[in-house]
Structures are given as structure tokens and as C-alpha cells.
């Protein structure tokens, strides 16, 4: 029993010792002394600081690289703008693309191009491109293409009547003479017909010839007549003026198209060079008179009957009066260069007189007649003439049997008999080239960075405050677009127009029916927007577009929009849906003081009755101008003598 007790006591003692040891261990671990946490914190702080430093460095480097990329991208964006604008100019547009308020969207960036007219047919295109944080401005100076009418071929402003037996066709002077090309064509056709024409197979291969088309046109109607004995052949196209027709009577053959022009053609006036004036020349000797190459202004150049005058090229000669006697000739020696001849007052060619060129190159001779001579220009019957004759304000008389290789344009062409006119395709090609704009100068204006609002800057859309989705593409952003429109005008008549939008007057449009811009259909909502946009500046037009007809409603709206411009007030008084006279008077009084032109319109238009007109005139007296006072008696509803006297006394 005692041993068990001792053992038990020993084991209890051991257990207590163990427990105390355990408690000591626990005490050791529970005391939690030491600096590891501090060390860990220090290490974390150091690591974090280094990370922040590296991040800042990395961000700075990235920012510089992005800026550099944005600069370059902006440069190319601006170049894209210049290219788009120049392409537009080649299509006859103004070159203006978008604006700062409504730029063209292109990829992740945008651009717009402004046009500055420098005069002398020069324009400056300023293109601003923006992408990312960069922006660049480039400037290009271009010369607009000149209007060259040589491609019109045979053309007159007035109606043209082509007589029986005439032949109008075309050739290409670069490929040889007209005679050579005609012979070749005939041989080819004969070969195709198995020798029916020339009585035997020819050596020519039966290739389809690429024959140019003649160009015959007028701003008015074209009438072509032929008979069985004298058929008329036109190997080409005929174009009548807008709303005009091409009339064919009898035996007439037209190989090309017959069309009606969609727009009018404006013939530019002849610009006569200013040259030092020399003495007049009357040549009577039998030996030819040689006028050497150079420039000269001859008041009168007269060749007596049977004499010859030779103009040596290259030369530019201005002649006020060119008089060719019977059987005389004017020879143009274009061997060494072209001859440009300007006639300013009179050109008279006697019978059997002629204009001869030493070479058969139509591009080497031009005859331009400035202004409207006192008498129609009688062209010589001798020839053929190789050259281009241009008389936009003169009547040209083509004698029977006249043959011309080149082109002829006049205000009016009168044919005294059958003629042979052969249009030179080379003139058309040269004309199209000169109508293109040419590049003069380029410069870099500015490349800058805009870092508004952030480390990497705002997008260009945010910088300009525009919504990217609302912007149009570059091709749609041209200020000038080709439009095909059907619309109702102010009188609710259906009208149509095709041409550049800059030539179209939106003021005449009451409602659009169909609209295509650059070949793309414009939805109705957008058409209405265009119409409204054009009317926004004019409250009177806005009322018309919105269909407001009640006089009182118009009065309230116009008084609220006052002051109105002179144009708006005039439109109000000349409207097809006139307001009541008292309402008109109220609007006019709300816009006092009135300009003289407005008072004159009020006097002559009939928008005011006599009583209201008298009130208006007395309210604007004294100071009424002479035209107004004169118009008092000429009104549709004239004022009474007493009323006129009252107005006169008030002055």
C-alpha cells in the first residue's frame, strides 16, 4: 500500500512538474516579445516605396512614348485631311471638310479642313488633325482648276439649228490627221462589211476602232435637219439645255447619246491680255506681210482683197478690228509655236477669204472674240481651219461649206449652209487636265500636345465636346456635295435640281421629296434637318417650312423674333401667303427704325393697304428717300392725292 502511495505521489509530482513546464512554455510563447513584426513592416514599406517609384518611372516613360506616338499620328491625320480636301477640289468641291464644331471622324481621331481664299484662284487648305493627346495643323496652298470650255466641242448658248448636209464628228490629233483617221476608219468598216464599201478587202485588220465622239450642245434647244439628198450625220453625242429638247427632222443620224443637261453651263468671258499698242496695219501689197512672233496689240489689221498676212508663232496678238478682204488670207505659221489671237471689236471675212494654219494641229491656234461685236462675226469660208474658236458673247456666222478641225463655241452659231465640224478629242483631254487643281505649297504649321484633364489626356472627341458616334465620315463631311433633289417650291410646284449644293438655293425649298447627296440617299429626317438648318437664320422661312399660315400666329412669332433682317422683312411682304395688312404693319413697327429698302418694298409690294401704308410712311418721316416717294403713285393700289400730299408735307 505504501509503495503504491509513493508511486502515486511521485507520478502526481511528475505530472505537476510537467504541467508547470508546459505552463512555462505557454508563458514563453504567450509573452510574445520580439521585433519581427516591425522588421516585416519596414520591409513591406521599403518594397512598396520601390514599387511606387518604379511605377512612376514606368508611367512617365509610357506617357512620353504615347505623346510621341500621338504627335506623329496627329500629323498623319492632318495629312489625311489635306488629301480628302484636295480630292474634293478635284471633284469640283470647295475643299472644305467638316469644321471644328463638326469634324470628320476617322478611326480613333478626327480632322477638319478650312478653306481660305487667297485670291488669284489660290486657296489655302488648313487641316487640323487630332488623335489621342496630340494635334497637328498642316497647310496646303492650291490653285483651283481653271474653267476650260474646250471640251464642250461645238456649243452655243442660244438655240442651235444644224442644216441639212452637215457632218459633225471627232478625231484625235495625237493619232494623226483627221483625213488619215477617217481613211483608216473607212477601211476598217469596209473590211467588216467584206469590201462592200471600197470594192475589195483591205489590208486593215478588223479591229474595233476607238473613235472619239463628237460633242454638240447648247444651253437651249438643238434642232437637226437632214434631207434624202443631204443627210446630216453626227457621229457623237448631242446635249440640249435644261428642260430643252433635241429635235431631229428628216434624214438625221446621231451615233451617240441624246441628252438634256441637268444644269446650266456658264461660259467664262474672254480675258484679253494687256499688251502695248502698236500701229494699225493695212496690207495691200501682193507679197505676203509677215508679222513676226511675239506679242502685239494691233488696233486694225486689214488685208486688202487678194492679199496675204502671215502671223508667225509663237505669238499672242490682240486685234481690235480684223478685216479680211475678198480672197484674202490670214496664215498662221504655227510651225515654231502656237498662235493666240484675240479680237475685241470686229471680225469681218470677205467672200473666199480664209484662215490657214501651217500645221494641222488644232491645239496650236485659238481665236477668242471678246465681248459682243457690233455686227455678227462672219467667219471665212476658205479653209479648213485648224484651231479652237471661242466667242461666248458673240454671234458667229458659219458660211456654207466651212470646215473646222478643233472646236467652236459661241453665244449663237448661225449656219448658212452645210458645214463639216471635226472635234479634236485632244482639246477635251487638255481641258480636263487644266480643270484640275494644282498643288503649290505645303507647310507644317503646328504640332502640339494637349494634356488637359489627365495623365494621358482626353480623347480628341472629349476635348472638342463632340460625340464620336454623331460625326460623319470624311467623304460625307465635305461642305459641298453633289445633290440630286426633288422638292416642292414656295408655290408647291414639284421641282428638281442636280448639281453642287453650293449652287443650290435652299431658300426656294418648301418640302423635300427625294434627296441624294454624293449618290447616297438622305433619309427623310435628315432632309428635314437640312431644310430646317437652312431656314434657321430666317424666322419667316421657318414659319413657311413649319407650315404656319394663320396671320395672327405669324405676327406673334415674327414680333417675338424681332429684330428681323431686311431680307426677312422683304420676304414677309412678298410671300405667296400674305399676312393681313394690320399684322404686317405691326411686325414692321416692331422692327423700327426701318431701312429705306424695307419701306420701299412695303410701298411697292401691296402687303399693306393704303391706310396702313400711310401710317407706316408718316411714322418713318421725315427722311423718306426719292424712290419711295416716286413709288407712291405707281402702286397697284395707289394712295389718294390727299394721302400723297400728307406724306410729302411730312418730309
Partner 1 sequence: MHSRSGLSLIELMIVIALLAIVSVKAGMVMNSAGESQSRNSAAIDLEDQSRRVLDRIAYAVMGSDRDTLFPDPESPTFTTVLSYAVSLGVEDGEIVWDDPEEIALSPASAQVVWRKKPDAPDERRVAWCNLVRPFLEGELPNGLDDNGNGLIDEQGLSFVLERNAVTIRMSLEDQIDSENTLIQTVETTVTIRN
Give the count of residues interacting with partner 1 (CB under 8 A): 31
> Per CB under 8 A, which region of 57-65, 370-378, 545-553, 588-596 contacts partner 1?
57-65
User: Binding of partner 1 at residue 48 (CB under 8 A)?
Assistant: no
Range 617-626 contact pairs with CB under 8 angstroms and sequence separation of 24 or more: 617/647, 617/650, 618/646, 618/647, 618/650, 619/589, 619/592, 620/592, 620/593, 620/594, 621/647, 621/650, 621/651, 622/650, 622/651, 623/651, 624/596, 624/599, 624/651, 625/596, 625/600
DSSP code per residue over 438-479: EEEEEEEEEEEE--TTSSS---HHHHHT--GGGSBPGGG-BS
Find all residues with CB under 8 Å of 389, minimum gap 6, and list them: 366, 367, 368, 369, 379, 396, 404, 406, 407, 408, 409, 410
> What size, in residues, is the chain?
651
Among 66, 72, 220, 321, binds partner 1 (CB under 8 A): 72
What angle in degrees, to the nearest 10, is found between the helix axes of 596-605 and 610-619? 170
Q: Show the CA angle centred on residue 290, arms to residues 285 and 293, nearest 5°.
A: 160
User: Binding of partner 1 at residue 169 (CB under 8 A)?
Assistant: no
> Per CB under 8 A, which region of 63-71, 236-244, 300-308, 390-398 contacts partner 1?
63-71
* Distance in angstroms (rounded) separating the CA atoms of residues 424 and 59: 68
Task: State in angstroms the smallest separation of the CB of 188 from partner 1.
Answer: 43
User: Binding of partner 1 at residue 649 (CB under 8 A)?
Assistant: no
> Per CB under 8 A, which region of 67-75, 179-187, 328-336, 412-420 contacts partner 1?
67-75
Place of cell 466667242: 391
User: Binding of partner 1 at residue 19 (CB under 8 A)?
Assistant: no
Among 139, 202, 308, 570, binds partner 1 (CB under 8 A): 139
**How many CA within 13 A on the CB side of residue 240?**
19
> 568: part of which helix (H) or strand (E)?
helix 566-573
DSSP code per residue over 212-261: PPEEEEESS-EEEEE-SSS-EEE-EEEEE-TT--EEEEESEEE-S-EEE-
Residues 494 and 469 sit within 8 Å (Cβ to Cβ): no
User: Binding of partner 1 at residue 245 (CB under 8 A)?
Assistant: no
* Distance in angstroms (rounded) separating the CA atoms of residues 73 and 129: 9
User: Binding of partner 1 at residue 141 (CB under 8 A)?
Assistant: yes
Among 9, 14, 15, 28, binds partner 1 (CB under 8 A): 28
Beta bridge partners of 226: 250
User: Binding of partner 1 at residue 61 (CB under 8 A)?
Assistant: yes
Task: State in angstroms the smallest separation of the CB of 423 from partner 1.
Answer: 35
> Per CB under 8 A, which region of 120-128, 599-607, 617-625, 628-636 contacts partner 1?
120-128
Task: State in angstroms the smallest separation of the CB of 17 from partner 1.
Answer: 7
Nearer to partner 1, 132 or 350 (CB): 132
Task: State in angstroms the smallest separation of the CB of 11 from partner 1.
Answer: 18
Among 10, 49, 68, 577, binds partner 1 (CB under 8 A): 68
What angle in degrees, to the nearest 10, is found between the helix axes of 566-573 and 581-590? 170
The interface with partner 1 within residues 337-356 (CB under 8 A) comprises: none
Task: State in angstroms the smallest separation of the CB of 120 from partner 1.
Answer: 5
Task: State in angstroms the smallest separation of the CB of 28 from partner 1.
Answer: 6
User: Binding of partner 1 at residue 17 (CB under 8 A)?
Assistant: yes
User: Binding of partner 1 at residue 10 (CB under 8 A)?
Assistant: no
Task: State in angstroms the smallest separation of the CB of 85 from partner 1.
Answer: 15
Task: State in angstroms the smallest separation of the CB of 113 from partner 1.
Answer: 16
Q: Shortest CA distance to 91 belongs to which of 499, 541, 602?
A: 499
User: Binding of partner 1 at residue 64 (CB under 8 A)?
Assistant: yes
Residues 323 and 300 sit within 8 Å (Cβ to Cβ): yes
Q: Taking the CB of residue 387, how many other CB atoms lie within 10 A of it?
A: 28
Q: Shortest CA distance to 629 belongs to which of 614, 647, 642?
A: 647
Task: State in angstroms the smallest separation of the CB of 275 from partner 1.
Answer: 21
Task: State in angstroms the smallest separation of the CB of 98 from partner 1.
Answer: 22
What angle in degrees, to the nearest 10, is found between the helix axes of 610-619 and 581-590? 10
Range 576-584 contact pairs with CB under 8 angstroms and sequence separation of 24 or more: 576/490, 576/491, 577/544, 577/549, 578/607, 579/551, 579/554, 579/555, 579/607, 580/551, 580/552, 581/607, 581/608, 581/609, 581/612, 582/612, 583/551, 583/552, 583/554, 583/555, 584/608, 584/612
Among 6, 21, 52, 433, binds partner 1 (CB under 8 A): 21
Query: Which is it for strands 246-250 and 222-226: parallel, antiparallel or unpaired?
Result: parallel
Nearer to partner 1, 72 or 321 (CB): 72
Nearer to partner 1, 200 or 273 (CB): 273
The interface with partner 1 within residues 455-484 (CB under 8 A) comprises: none
> Per CB under 8 A, which region of 56-64, 226-234, 344-352, 533-541 contacts partner 1?
56-64
DSSP code per residue over 4-73: HHHHHHHHHHHHHHHHHHHHHHHHHHHH---SHHHHHHHHHHHHHHHHHHHHHHHHHHHHHHHHHHHHHH
> Per CB under 8 A, which region of 58-66, 156-164, 269-277, 318-326 contacts partner 1?
58-66
Nearer to partner 1, 444 or 494 (CB): 444
User: Binding of partner 1 at residue 65 (CB under 8 A)?
Assistant: yes
The interface with partner 1 within residues 75-104 (CB under 8 A) comprises: 75
Among 66, 83, 87, 122, binds partner 1 (CB under 8 A): 122
User: Binding of partner 1 at residue 29 (CB under 8 A)?
Assistant: no
Each residue 422-441 as x (binds partner 1 by CB under 8 A) or -, in order, gives ------------------xx
> Per CB under 8 A, which region of 70-78, 192-200, 210-218, 406-414 contacts partner 1?
70-78
> Per CB under 8 A, which region of 112-120, 391-399, 421-429, 483-491 contacts partner 1?
112-120
User: Binding of partner 1 at residue 54 (CB under 8 A)?
Assistant: yes
User: Binding of partner 1 at residue 45 (CB under 8 A)?
Assistant: no
Task: State in angstroms the smallest separation of the CB of 122 from partner 1.
Answer: 6
Nearer to partner 1, 134 or 236 (CB): 134
What angle in degrees, to the nearest 10, is found between the helix axes of 641-649 and 610-619? 10
Among 31, 208, 274, 637, binds partner 1 (CB under 8 A): 31
User: Binding of partner 1 at residue 24 (CB under 8 A)?
Assistant: yes
> Per CB under 8 A, which region of 16-24, 311-319, 504-512, 622-630 contacts partner 1?
16-24
> Per CB under 8 A, which region of 60-68, 402-410, 419-427, 456-464 contacts partner 1?
60-68
* Cell triple for 577: 401667303
* Distance in angstroms (rounded) separating the CA atoms of residues 578 and 223: 43
Which chain residues interact with partner 1 by CB under 8 A? Answer: 17, 20-21, 24, 27-28, 31, 33, 50, 54, 57, 61, 64-65, 68, 71-72, 75, 118-120, 122, 124, 139, 141, 440-444, 447
Amino acid at each position: 500500500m505504501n509503495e503504491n502511495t509513493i508511486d502515486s505521489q511521485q507520478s502526481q509530482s511528475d505530472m505537476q512538474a510537467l504541467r508547470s513546464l508546459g505552463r512555462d512554455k505557454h508563458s514563453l510563447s504567450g509573452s510574445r516579445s520580439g521585433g519581427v513584426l516591425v522588421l516585416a513592416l519596414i520591409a513591406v514599406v521599403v518594397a512598396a516605396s520601390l514599387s511606387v517609384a518604379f511605377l512612376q518611372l514606368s508611367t512617365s516613360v509610357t506617357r512620353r512614348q504615347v505623346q510621341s506616338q500621338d504627335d506623329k499620328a496627329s500629323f498623319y491625320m492632318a495629312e489625311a485631311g489635306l488629301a480628302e480636301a484636295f480630292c474634293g477640289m478635284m471633284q469640283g468641291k470647295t475643299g472644305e471638310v467638316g469644321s471644328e464644331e463638326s469634324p470628320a471622324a476617322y478611326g480613333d481621331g478626327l480632322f477638319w479642313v478650312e478653306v481660305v481664299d487667297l485670291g488669284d484662284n489660290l486657296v489655302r487648305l488648313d487641316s487640323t488633325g487630332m488623335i489621342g493627346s496630340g494635334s497637328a495643323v498642316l497647310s496646303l496652298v492650291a490653285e483651283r482648276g481653271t474653267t476650260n470650255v474646250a471640251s464642250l466641242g461645238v456649243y452655243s448658248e442660244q438655240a442651235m439649228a444644224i442644216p441639212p448636209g452637215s457632218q459633225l464628228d471627232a478625231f484625235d490629233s495625237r493619232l494623226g490627221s483627221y483625213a488619215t483617221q477617217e481613211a483608216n476608219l473607212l477601211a476598217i468598216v469596209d473590211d467588216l462589211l467584206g469590201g462592200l464599201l471600197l470594192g475589195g478587202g483591205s489590208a486593215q485588220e478588223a479591229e474595233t476602232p476607238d473613235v472619239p465622239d463628237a460633242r454638240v450642245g447648247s444651253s437651249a434647244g438643238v434642232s437637226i435637219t437632214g434631207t434624202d439628198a443631204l443627210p446630216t450625220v453626227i457621229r457623237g453625242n448631242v446635249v440640249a439645255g435644261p428642260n430643252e429638247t433635241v429635235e431631229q427632222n428628216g434624214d438625221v443620224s446621231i451615233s451617240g447619246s441624246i441628252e438634256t443637261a441637268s444644269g446650266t453651263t456658264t461660259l467664262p468671258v474672254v480675258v484679253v491680255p494687256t499688251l502695248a499698242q502698236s500701229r494699225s496695219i493695212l496690207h495691200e501689197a501682193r507679197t505676203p506681210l509677215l508679222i513676226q512672233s511675239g506679242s502685239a496689240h494691233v488696233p486694225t489689221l486689214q488685208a486688202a482683197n487678194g492679199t496675204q498676212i502671215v502671223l508667225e508663232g509663237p505669238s499672242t496678238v490682240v486685234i481690235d478690228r480684223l478685216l479680211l478682204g475678198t480672197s484674202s488670207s490670214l496664215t498662221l505659221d504655227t510651225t515654231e509655236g502656237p498662235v493666240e489671237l484675240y479680237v475685241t471689236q470686229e471680225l469681218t471675212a470677205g467672200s473666199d477669204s480664209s484662215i490657214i494654219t501651217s500645221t494641222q494641229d488644232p491645239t496650236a491656234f485659238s481665236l477668242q472674240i471678246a465681248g459682243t461685236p457690233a455686227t455678227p462675226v462672219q467667219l471665212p469660208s476658205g479653209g479648213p481651219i485648224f484651231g479652237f474658236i471661242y466667242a461666248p458673247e458673240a454671234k458667229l456666222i458659219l458660211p456654207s461649206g466651212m470646215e473646222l478641225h478643233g472646236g467652236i463655241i459661241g453665244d449663237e452659231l448661225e449656219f448658212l449652209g452645210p458645214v463639216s465640224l471635226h472635234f479634236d478629242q485632244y482639246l477635251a483631254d487638255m481641258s480636263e487636265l487644266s480643270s484640275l487643281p494644282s498643288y503649290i505649297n505645303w507647310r507644317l504649321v503646328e504640332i502640339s500636345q494637349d494634356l488637359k484633364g489627365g495623365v494621358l489626356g482626353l480623347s480628341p472627341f472629349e476635348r472638342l465636346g463632340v460625340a464620336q458616334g454623331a460625326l460623319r465620315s470624311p467623304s460625307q463631311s465635305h461642305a459641298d456635295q453633289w445633290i440630286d433633289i426633288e422638292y416642292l417650291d414656295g408655290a408647291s410646284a414639284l421641282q428638281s435640281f442636280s448639281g453642287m449644293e453650293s449652287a443650290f438655293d435652299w431658300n426656294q425649298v418648301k418640302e423635300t421629296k427625294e434627296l441624294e447627296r454624293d449618290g447616297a440617299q438622305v433619309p427623310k429626317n435628315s432632309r428635314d434637318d437640312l431644310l430646317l438648318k437652312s431656314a434657321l437664320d430666317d424666322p419667316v422661312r421657318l414659319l413657311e417650312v413649319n407650315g404656319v399660315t394663320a396671320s395672327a400666329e405669324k405676327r406673334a412669332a415674327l414680333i417675338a423674333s424681332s429684330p428681323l433682317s431686311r431680307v426677312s422683312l422683304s420676304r414677309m411682304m412678298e410671300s405667296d401667303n400674305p399676312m393681313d395688312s394690320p399684322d404686317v404693319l405691326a411686325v414692321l413697327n416692331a422692327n423700327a427704325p426701318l431701312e429705306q429698302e424695307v419701306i420701299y418694298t412695303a410701298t411697292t409690294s401691296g402687303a399693306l393697304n393704303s391706310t396702313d401704308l400711310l401710317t407706316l410712311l408718316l411714322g418713318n418721316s421725315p427722311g423718306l428717300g426719292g424712290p419711295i416717294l416716286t413709288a407712291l403713285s405707281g402702286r397697284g393700289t395707289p394712295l389718294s392725292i390727299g394721302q400723297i400730299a400728307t406724306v410729302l408735307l411730312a418730309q
